[in-house]
Amino acid sequence: MTNAKNPYNRLLIVANRLPFSAKQTAEGTELIQSAGGLVSAVLSMAEQMGQSASDQTPKIHWIGYADASVRELGATALENDNFVAHPVYMDDTTYKEYYEGFCNDLIWPLFHYFPSFASFQDSYFERYQQANGLFLEKVREIARPGDLIWIHDFQLMLLPDLVRQAIPDALIGYFFHIPFPTYEIVKLLPRTWRQALVNGLLGANVIGFHTADYVQHFLQSVTEVLSLPILGHRIVLPDRSVIAGDFPISVDFNKFNMGARTSAVLDTRNRFRDELRTPKIIFSVDRLDYAKGITYRLQGYERFLVQNPEWHNKITFVMTVVPSRDQIPHYQEIKREIEETVGRLNGLFGTIGWRPIVYSYMSLSFTELLALYTACDVALITPIRDGMNLVCKEFIATRSDDQGVLILSEFAGAAQELNDALLINPTDTQEVADAIQQAVSMPAAEQAERMQVMRRHIQNHNVFRWSHQFLTVLDENTTLKTSIETD
Ligand code: G6P
């Protein structure tokens, strides 16, 4: 099954979410492929491995949780042009305590430096272990010798070691998509939990993070929690070693660059600009999350409006929040807080003919997203913490006019790569207000200078490079490739 381009049998992705959801229509079942970063990244990786539908080679196998739409079908496997999906079934209580509980009520807030939002409940950890065990069962059922098993994100930290114990020769990659915090934060986890999590990750051959800081933090935890020897980026185990490396994820530059020039996007962009009417537009789009810094962002905009009354009636902030995790109380609270703040500011500054903030709580189509990236003058991206943040990279990739200013939090992983953005501390609302002022007054030549540098960077450091570098390091840290080639 191997070929020169692809030394592995198959690519087997394991992530909490499947790459598509199912929809029942009069014609039958429609599989709606997710437009998320991971799906695009994996498709690009498969292309690189010579494993795409167009090559007539096997599709990507993907193990993920069976959401309600998939459960309704009761299928054991679902297939579209790119993927064969293998759903993991779980009862509602297990899923709730694993996903809403351990993942999103503990690890997410803790690893985004919101320890006071974290809830430590024994049952959460028990269900997390159970859920990771159910993913293992599916891996055992699906994996074949020679597969590259690529596990994703904080929902599955125990899985690499579970797979290693079950299939000692497995080739396992793991990618951590959220920030890995300093040991002071990890230490807040009960001793046995933090040991299990760090040990769980070490089942992989290579563990990827977005930034060099996250790698250092992880290595610090390995030292503190397991006292293992470390040589550079290599963690030395008795029988093998594990590499921890930084691989900043990115976007498919051409998809955004070319997509933004289609007539559908241009028409929508022009319609938006006509409807909004103000000479300047600020845009932001985020999943609903307290880590995105949306309330501070609004307060920064409020300061800007107070201090720069000449901009009243001349600027609109289009703020889109994409629904997410809204069953979890902290998410419901932040939604309420955002909506109250938007209402207060529109009430305070707005007039009959001018709304300073155009807020919507919804998902955007790809066309609308590109239209807003290209319609705006300023992208205001101010997370309190963000593993990477792909919104800013998408924005840059669409701006072939070399115009537009990026205001970016220094706490987004992407800030490590984008020095030509206006980097701000998101909780410093005066700094945010000043950055907005600087952005809306920036001469076209300076915008072009900054944008060109950032576009060159994203064009080169695109998602293909990300997957290529991850695969290269994985190849270097395993003997499997060599053994397959000599078969
Ligand atoms: C972040 C996480 C992903 C997660 C996504 C959406 O990007 O790193 O693992 O899938 O958010 O969150 P959700 O809870 O809806 O899957």
Amino acid at 266: L
What is the signed CA dihedral for 475, 479, 481, 485, rounded to 10 degrees?
150
Interface confidence (ipTM) of the complex? 0.98
6 pLDDT more than 60: no
Residue 27 structure tokens: 């014609």
Q: What single-letter DSSP state applies at residue 398? A: H
Gap from CA of 349 to ligand 1 centroid (Å): 35
Quickly list DSSP for 8-70.
Answer: SS-EEEEEEE-SEEEEEETTEEEEEE--SHHHHHHHHHHHHTT-SGGGTSPPEEEEEE--HHH
Q: What is the 3-state secondary structure (H, E, C) of 214-271?
A: HHHHHHHHHHHHHCCCEECCEEECCCCEEEEEECCCCCCHHHHHHHCCCHHHHHHHHH
Tracing tokens 């409020």 back to the chain, one arrives at 302
Kindly report the average pLDDT of the chain as a whole number.
93
- Beta strands at 230-231 and 171-175: parallel, antiparallel or unpaired: unpaired
How much of the chain exceeds pLDDT 70, in percent? Answer: 94
Distance CA 331, CA 289 (A): 6
Top mutation candidate among 13, 14, 16, 17 for ligand 1, by most atoms within 8 Å of CB = 17
Q: Which atom of ligand 1 is nearest to the CA of 152?
A: 9
The pLDDT assigned to 29 comes to: 85
The pLDDT assigned to 7 comes to: 58
Encode pLDDT of 226-277 as tens digits: 999 999 999 999 999 999 999 999 999 999 999 999 999 999 999 999 999 9
Encode pLDDT of 170-216 as tens digits: 999 999 999 999 999 999 999 999 999 999 999 999 999 999 999 99
Q: Do residues 454 and 423 touch, judged by C-beta distance below 8 A? A: no
92 pLDDT more than 60: yes
Q: Which atom of ligand 1 is nearest to the CA of 177?
A: 8
Gap from CA of 154 to ligand 1 centroid (Å): 9
Q: Which atom of ligand 1 is nearest to the CA of 99?
A: 14
| 482 confidence band (pLDDT: 50, 70, 90) | very low
Q: Do residues 345 and 302 touch, judged by C-beta distance below 8 A? A: yes
| 4 confidence band (pLDDT: 50, 70, 90) | very low
Q: Do residues 455 and 397 touch, judged by C-beta distance below 8 A? A: yes
17 Cβ below 6 A of ligand 1: yes
Beta-strand ranges (E) seen in 42-181 are 60-65, 78-79, 83-88, 148-152, 171-175
| 479 confidence band (pLDDT: 50, 70, 90) | low
Encode pLDDT of 421-464 as tens digits: 999 999 999 999 999 999 999 999 999 999 999 999 999 999 99
240 Cβ below 6 A of ligand 1: no
Residues whose CB falls within 8 Å of the CB of residue 293, separated by 6 or more in sequence, listed in order: 382, 383, 384, 409, 426, 427
User: Which of 467-486 are b and which e, b meaning 16 or more Cβ less than 10 Å from the residue's Cβ?
Assistant: bbbbbebbbebbebbeebee
Top mutation candidate among 287, 292, 327 for ligand 1, by most atoms within 8 Å of CB = 287
481 pLDDT more than 50: no
Encode pLDDT of 66-79 as tens digits: 999 899 888 899 99
Task: Look at ligand 1, atom 8, and give the residue with the nearest C-alpha.
Answer: 177
Residue 255 structure tokens: 């998809």
Task: Look at ligand 1, atom 6, and give the residue with the nearest C-alpha.
Answer: 324
Alpha carbon distances (Å) from 109 to 93, 119, 120, 154: 21, 9, 11, 12
The pLDDT assigned to 475 comes to: 86
Encode pLDDT of 367-387 as tens digits: 999 999 999 999 999 999 999
Gap from CA of 176 to ligand 1 centroid (Å): 11
Q: Do residues 230 and 219 touch, judged by C-beta distance below 8 A? A: yes
